[in-house]
């Protein structure tokens, strides 16, 4: 087994409604600690923002309806038990635009940073991160693949899988 594979933990799950996707995010949010970066990847409409709303709720953001995709402003900040930074890179064309946001400070901030459309800046992502790949696998069913890169993220993937199985 090569070093790359040893440094990752993978778990996949299917959700059959936005409510399930939200609940999965909520479970994850309750587990998160400072300086966590979550890279969300997937096609338009696969549930990235719904998942972020769940994570925000799990982090204690009072009303997940306040969580909106920052498509035009690029970054929204929410207050929960930790600061939540929600980044949406849908309209970003070049990685230089992201660097101008104060990217390094953002991903090392003492809070949780969730990045929608993270595939656009894959080279700028920190080594320690949780990747969440979302894809449609049916009319309403989504597949979410969690890849923990680094020790803390691997622990998150394992813990989330265990918590989800208990919920079922």
Cα–Cα distances in angstroms (integers) from residue 94 to residues 49, 66, 119, 141, in the given order: 22, 28, 12, 32
Reported pTM: 0.90
Per-residue pLDDT 10s for the chain (168 aa) are 444 455 799 999 999 999 999 999 999 999 999 899 999 999 998 999 999 999 999 999 987 777 877 666 788 889 999 999 999 888 887 777 777 778 888 888 889 999 999 999 989 999 999 999 999 998 889 999 999 999 999 999 999 999 999 886
Domains of the chain, start order: 17-167 (3.40.50.300)
pLDDT score of 41: 97
**Nearest to residue 43, comparing CAs of 126, 129, 133?**
133
- The Cα–Cα gap between 133 and 97 comes to 23
| Angle made by CA atoms 59, 62, 68, in degrees to the nearest 5 | 85
């Amino acid at each position: 087994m090569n070093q790359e594979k040893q440094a990752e933990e993978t778990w996949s799950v299917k959700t059959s409604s936005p409510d399930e996707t939200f609940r999965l995010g909520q479970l994850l949010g309750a587990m998160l600690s400072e300086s966590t970066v979550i890279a969300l990847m997937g096609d338009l409409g696969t549930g990235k923002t719904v998942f972020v709303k769940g994570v925000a709720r799990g982090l204690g953001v009072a009303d997940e309806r306040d969580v909106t995709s920052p498509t035009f402003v690029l970054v929204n900040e929410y207050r929960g038990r930790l600061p939540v930074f929600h980044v949406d890179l849908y309209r970003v064309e070049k990685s230089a635009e992201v660097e101008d946001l104060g990217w390094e400070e953002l991903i090392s901030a003492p809070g949780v940073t969730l990045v929608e459309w993270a595939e656009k800046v894959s080279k700028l992502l920190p080594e320690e991160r949780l990747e969440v790949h979302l894809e449609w696998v049916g009319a309403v069913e989504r597949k979410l693949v969690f890849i923990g890169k680094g020790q803390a993220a691997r622990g998150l993937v394992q813990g989330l899988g265990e918590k989800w199985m208990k919920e079922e």
